[in-house]
A and B are shown apart, each in its own frame.
Chain A
């Protein structure tokens, strides 16, 4: 199946066939990562600019590795070292980069919609690496890929997304992707961190973690940002841990062959204990490895072929 898109802005826009196309392609690149020489040449001659206006280690390194393993040339800059500090606008930054003949832009930005904004004047492919409270599509894809690899299916899985649904772009991407591929999705978190009308996205909403976990196959636990407590949305982290923290006792409610996921970085002892994070059912490090393969697949699919041609013609 031909992938006809030029940008990846979120999973909300993609249909089930496109999602499966990315997952199938990721499988091929996962094999490349296990080879003695983990490098192939499909993006040779293309230049990718990684624009990280928010702090990130994992996603930035994962994208950089994915690009290098596809033989692309890469430039990376973070907000702290960019002209943004001198007051340059995002539009000017990207237009200057484009004048230096880049082909793809990977952008992480604190404002929702920043990647979409770029597509209005940018002739390069734009990949959203996390925008504000909107989406983090490659994290959603790698979460889905990890589940798909373990269970060989997404349809019919019961997945619980734990944490801050109001601010989490990962939860949003997980919801769009998983529901389109037929998983049954539940979201669980403190009432202050659950947006109104979440049910309309086709998910069950819980504030009682024990009820949410009943009969689930996967629990994908999100990081609680400490500033939420300062903003008054959480009474205390200790209370969050006691009400929503994942414990051995709570895991008994899950199905037998359960999986624990976390997009990282983990606040150990808050969202889950060390014992849970490092147990046999935890696939947290596998998610990190799969992240490189999924990003390679996304870059590959957006880089060439019909999508690029038809949009430029």
Chain B
């Protein structure tokens, strides 16, 4: 028997602040002669990439190439996963060669999605560097991958669920953490209250 504990990790205002801060950090990290490209990982990373690029343009008037990537064909569980994932289009309509490419995703968890994205990028060319920007880093890495730009760090239990809702997909901007409390945790909490 489990009980769910739901909390809001970020609201619309906090998400907007995080995007703005990441945009500033990206610009500060670039050398003068470095060309920037932003690639969002579908789904959600694509919308966050669009927001980042708008913010960068707003801050510095800089025009940045933006692309969108679906990582399905590069997943490591394609032949073993009983669910056949739907593949969405990858749209990288500019050369990535010699650019600093910032990959954008909503949640960084095991690192397997980013591993797949890193495998896909060389099929489009050889960037000067690849950086990673995520809205939420929830820990729980299964691969040695680290984000360069993070909106918010939240260590979570592997069974927890972190959902990012964005206005572009018909919701209201928010990041929600759903924590499943086991029967044991529930009992312990009740004992604590009695004391």
> A residues touching B (Cβ–Cβ < 8 Å)?
1-3, 25, 27-28, 31-32, 35-37, 39-43, 45-46, 300-301, 303-309
Contact among A1, A31, A37, A303 with B79 in the assembled complex (CB-CB below 8 Å): A303
Q: How far is the CB of B84 from chain A (nearest CB, A)?
A: 3
Task: Please indicate the chain B residues that have their CB under 8 angstroms from the CB of A39 in the complex.
Answer: 123
Q: Which of B105-149 contact A (CB under 8 A)?
A: 119, 122-125
Task: Please indicate the chain B residues that have their CB under 8 angstroms from the CB of A2 in the complex.
Answer: 83-84
Q: Is the Cβ of A35 less than 8 Å from the Cβ of B124?
A: yes
User: Which of B49-57, B86-94, B187-195 lines the interface with chain A?
Assistant: B86-94
Q: How far is the CB of B116 from chain A (nearest CB, A)?
A: 9
B46 interface residue per 8 A CB criterion:
no
A65 and B21 CA atoms in complex are apart in Å by 46
A203 and B65 CA atoms in complex are apart in Å by 49
> B residues touching A (Cβ–Cβ < 8 Å)?
70, 73-75, 78-84, 86-91, 119, 122-125
Q: Is the Cβ of A42 less than 8 Å from the Cβ of B73?
A: yes
Q: Is the Cβ of B81 less than 8 Å from the Cβ of A37?
A: no
Q: How far is the CB of A48 from chain B (nearest CB, A)?
A: 13
Which 3 A-B residue pairings sit nearest by Cβ, starting from the closest?
A305-B84, A37-B123, A304-B79
Q: Is the Cβ of B84 less than 8 Å from the Cβ of A37?
A: no
Q: Is the Cβ of B74 less than 8 Å from the Cβ of A40?
A: yes
Interface centre among B73, B84, B123, B125 (most CB of A within 10 A): B84
Interface centre among A1, A39, A305 (most CB of B within 10 A): A305
**With A28-B88, A35-B124 as given contacts, are A41 and B74 in contact (CB-CB < 8 Å)?**
yes
Q: Is the Cβ of A27 less than 8 Å from the Cβ of B89?
A: yes
**With A2-B84, A28-B70, A306-B84 as given contacts, are A45 and B79 in contact (CB-CB < 8 Å)?**
yes
Query: Please, which residue of chain B has its CB at the minimum distance from the CB of A32?
Result: B73
Task: Please indicate the chain B residues that have their CB under 8 angstroms from the CB of A1 in the complex.
Answer: 86
Task: Please indicate the chain A residues that have their CB under 8 angstroms from the CB of B122 in the complex.
Answer: 37
Query: Please, which residue of chain A has its CB at the minimum distance from the CB of B85?
Result: A305
**With A28-B89, A31-B90, A41-B74 as given contacts, are A301 and B84 in contact (CB-CB < 8 Å)?**
yes
Task: Please indicate the chain A residues that have their CB under 8 angstroms from the CB of B84 in the complex.
Answer: 2-3, 301, 304-307
A142 and B86 CA atoms in complex are apart in Å by 20
Q: Is the Cβ of B89 less than 8 Å from the Cβ of A31?
A: yes
Query: Please, which residue of chain A has its CB at the minimum distance from the CB of B77?
Result: A304
**With A46-B79, A301-B84, A303-B79 as given contacts, are A40 and B73 in contact (CB-CB < 8 Å)?**
yes
**With A28-B87, A36-B124, A37-B123 as given contacts, are A304 and B81 in contact (CB-CB < 8 Å)?**
yes
A56 and B103 CA atoms in complex are apart in Å by 44
Contact among B82, B89, B125 with A309 in the assembled complex (CB-CB below 8 Å): B82
Q: Is the Cβ of A42 less than 8 Å from the Cβ of B123?
A: no
**19 A-B pairs, CB-CB below 8 angstroms?**
A1-B86, A27-B89, A28-B70, A28-B73, A28-B87, A28-B88, A28-B90, A32-B73, A36-B124, A37-B122, A40-B74, A40-B123, A41-B73, A42-B75, A42-B78, A42-B79, A43-B79, A305-B82, A306-B83
Q: Is the Cβ of A306 less than 8 Å from the Cβ of B79?
A: no
Q: Is the Cβ of B74 less than 8 Å from the Cβ of A36?
A: no
A303 and B123 CA atoms in complex are apart in Å by 23
Q: How far is the CB of A69 from chain B (nearest CB, A)?
A: 11
Query: Please, which residue of chain A has its CB at the minimum distance from the CB of B120?
Result: A40
Q: Is the Cβ of B82 less than 8 Å from the Cβ of A35?
A: no
Q: Is the Cβ of A305 less than 8 Å from the Cβ of B83?
A: yes
Q: How far is the CB of B30 from chain A (nearest CB, A)?
A: 25
Q: Is the Cβ of B125 less than 8 Å from the Cβ of A36?
A: yes
Q: How far is the CB of A2 from chain B (nearest CB, A)?
A: 5
Q: How far is the CB of A305 from chain B (nearest CB, A)?
A: 3
Task: Please indicate the chain A residues that have their CB under 8 angstroms from the CB of B79 in the complex.
Answer: 42-43, 45-46, 303-304, 308
Besides A35-B124, A41-B74, A309-B82, 18 other A-B contacts (C-beta < 8 A) = A1-B86, A2-B83, A28-B70, A28-B88, A28-B89, A31-B91, A36-B124, A39-B123, A40-B123, A41-B119, A42-B79, A45-B79, A46-B79, A303-B79, A304-B78, A304-B79, A305-B81, A306-B83
Task: Please indicate the chain B residues that have their CB under 8 angstroms from the CB of A28 in the complex.
Answer: 70, 73, 87-90
Query: Please, which residue of chain B has its CB at the minimum distance from the CB of A37?
Result: B123
Query: Please, which residue of chain A has its CB at the minimum distance from the CB of B122?
Result: A37
**With A25-B87, A40-B74, A41-B74 as given contacts, are A306 and B82 in contact (CB-CB < 8 Å)?**
yes
A25 and B81 CA atoms in complex are apart in Å by 18
Task: Please indicate the chain A residues that have their CB under 8 angstroms from the CB of B70 in the complex.
Answer: 28
Task: Please indicate the chain A residues that have their CB under 8 angstroms from the CB of B90 in the complex.
Answer: 28, 31
Query: Please, which residue of chain B has its CB at the minimum distance from the CB of A45?
Result: B79
Task: Please indicate the chain B residues that have their CB under 8 angstroms from the CB of A36 in the complex.
Answer: 123-125
Task: Please indicate the chain A residues that have their CB under 8 angstroms from the CB of B83 in the complex.
Answer: 2, 305-306
Task: Please indicate the chain A residues that have their CB under 8 angstroms from the CB of B78 in the complex.
Answer: 42, 304-305
